[in-house]
């Protein structure tokens, strides 16, 4: 079974540009979650999509947005990039919101975004 795949693995952008990050969940998983991890420490919740709808978002400005496609894949868009947006962006999936509370999330390896 293929795991959660993210692309690209690395992305270098200039301040003010836009970045698009992509995620394919595990087959059969309908929920996709996005997290930001700075400095190799704790994860900050960004967005949660389930069945094509945004279910919850974290305390991030509106220039962080995304969507989920009919095949449950998802993309995260970051507009007007700032230097402090440099981080590892992790995508995770779960079979459904209810199962995540016991079976947890399955994470991808992340996209390392560097803003210069």
Partner 1 sequence: TQLLEQSPQFLSIQEGENLTVYCNSSSVFSSLQWYRQEPGEGPVLLVTVVTGGEVKKLKRLTFQFGDARKDSSLHITAAQPGDTGLYLCAGFLNAGGTSYGKLTFGQGTILTVHP
Q: How far is the CB of 95 from partner 1 (least distance, A)?
A: 13
Nearer to partner 1, 19 or 92 (CB): 92
CB crowding 74-104: b at 16 or more within 10 Å, else e = bbbebeebeeebbbbbbbbbbeeeeebeeee
Q: How far is the CB of 109 from partner 1 (least distance, A)?
A: 5
Smallest CA-to-CA distance from 80 within 5, 14, 11 is with 14
Q: Number of helices (H) and strands (E) in the chain: give both, helices first.
A: 1, 11
Q: How far is the CB of 15 from partner 1 (least distance, A)?
A: 25
Nearer to partner 1, 20 or 107 (CB): 107
Nearer to partner 1, 66 or 108 (CB): 108
Nearer to partner 1, 76 or 92 (CB): 92
DSSP state for residue 84 in the 8-state scheme: G
The length of the chain is 116
Contact 78, 36 (CB under 8 A): no
Q: How far is the CB of 16 from partner 1 (least distance, A)?
A: 28
What residue ranges bind partner 1 (CB under 8 A)? 4, 31, 33, 35, 40-45, 48, 50, 55-56, 58, 90, 92, 97, 100-110
């Amino acid at each position: 079974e293929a795991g959660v795949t993210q692309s690209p693995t690395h992305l270098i952008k200039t301040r003010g540009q836009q970045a698009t990050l992509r995620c394919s969940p595990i087959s059969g998983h309908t929920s996709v979650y996005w997290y930001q991890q700075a400095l190799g420490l704790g994860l900050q919740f960004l967005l949660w999509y389930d069945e094509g709808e945004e279910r919850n978002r974290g305390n991030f400005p509106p220039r962080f947005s995304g969507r989920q496609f009919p095949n449950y894949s998802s993309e995260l868009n970051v507009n007007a990039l700032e230097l402090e947006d440099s981080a590892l962006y992790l995508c995770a999936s779960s079979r459904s919101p209810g199962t995540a509370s016991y079976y947890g999330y399955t994470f991808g390896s992340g996209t390392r975004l560097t803003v210069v």
